[in-house]
């Protein structure tokens, strides 16, 4: 395999990280998260393409685009996690390994956040570690992309 590539997709209101409910989501901005991810990915020989959208359809389009352009996905779909059959179907459509990420631990929060349409189609789920959740997901995805399938 040549250069490894992954897409890191952030959903609605994650553009406001840093100022958005920092007691829940932390004080780290999305730009800082992306910079840390890209730096760590580069150390691992992976090219990470990071994008954010508030639009469900745009996220669907980017998941489709990942097929052929990337070998895996890290996805924090924000509130769409709890509502979107479209995103679930998009992940199934491309057949790429996807790791679902959340900064907070949704299971410690309101009941409507306990349901994820993405978890059943995810390779795994990492939540509750703030910005670190993304870096843990990167390590896990790297392991899957390089390691033998279990
Ligand atoms: C982000 C959101 O925007 C919420 O809608 C989810 C997730 C949790 C997070 O913790 O990253 O419920």
Among 29, 74, 79, which residue has the most ligand 1 atoms within 8 Å of its CB, making it the best to mutate? 79
Q: What is the mean pLDDT of residues 12-26?
A: 97
Q: What is the pLDDT of residues 73-131, one digit of tens each?
A: 999 999 999 999 999 999 999 999 999 999 999 999 999 999 999 999 999 999 999 99
Integer Cα distance of 131 and 135 in angstroms: 7
**Cα–Cα distance list, 146 to 24, 39, 69, 106 (Å):** 33, 19, 17, 30
Q: Specify the DSSP element, H or E, that contains 102.
A: strand 98-102
Residue 148 has pLDDT above 90, yes or no: no
Integer Cα distance of 28 and 51 in angstroms: 16
Residue 150 has pLDDT above 60, yes or no: no
Which two tokens mark 57? 């359809």
Among 24, 33, 104, which residue has the most ligand 1 atoms within 8 Å of its CB, making it the best to mutate? 104
Note whether 36 and 135 are within 8 A (CB). Answer: yes
**Closest ligand 1 atom to the C-alpha of 79?**
5
Ligand 1 centroid–CA 16 distance in Å is 12
Residue nearest to atom 9 of ligand 1 (CA): 102
Q: What is the pLDDT of residues 41-75, one digit of tens each?
A: 999 999 999 999 999 999 999 999 999 999 999 99
């Amino acid at each position: 395999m040549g250069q490894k590539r992954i897409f890191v997709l952030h959903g609605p209101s994650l553009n406001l990280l840093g100022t958005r409910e920092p007691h829940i989501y932390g004080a780290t901005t999305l730009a800082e998260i992306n910079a840390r991810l890209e730096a760590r990915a580069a150390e691992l020989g992976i090219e990470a393409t990071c994008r954010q959208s508030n639009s469900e359809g745009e996220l669907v389009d980017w998941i489709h685009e990942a097929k052929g352009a990337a070998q895996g996905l890290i996805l924090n779909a924000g509130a769409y996690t709890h509502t979107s059959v479209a995103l679930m179907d998009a992940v199934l459509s491309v057949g790429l390994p996807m790791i679902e990420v959340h900064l907070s631990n949704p299971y410690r929060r309101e009941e409507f956040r306990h349901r994820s349409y993405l978890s059943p189609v995810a390779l795994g789920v990492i939540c509750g570690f703030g910005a670190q959740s993304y870096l843990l997901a990167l390590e896990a995805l790297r392991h899957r992309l390089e390691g033998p399938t279990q």
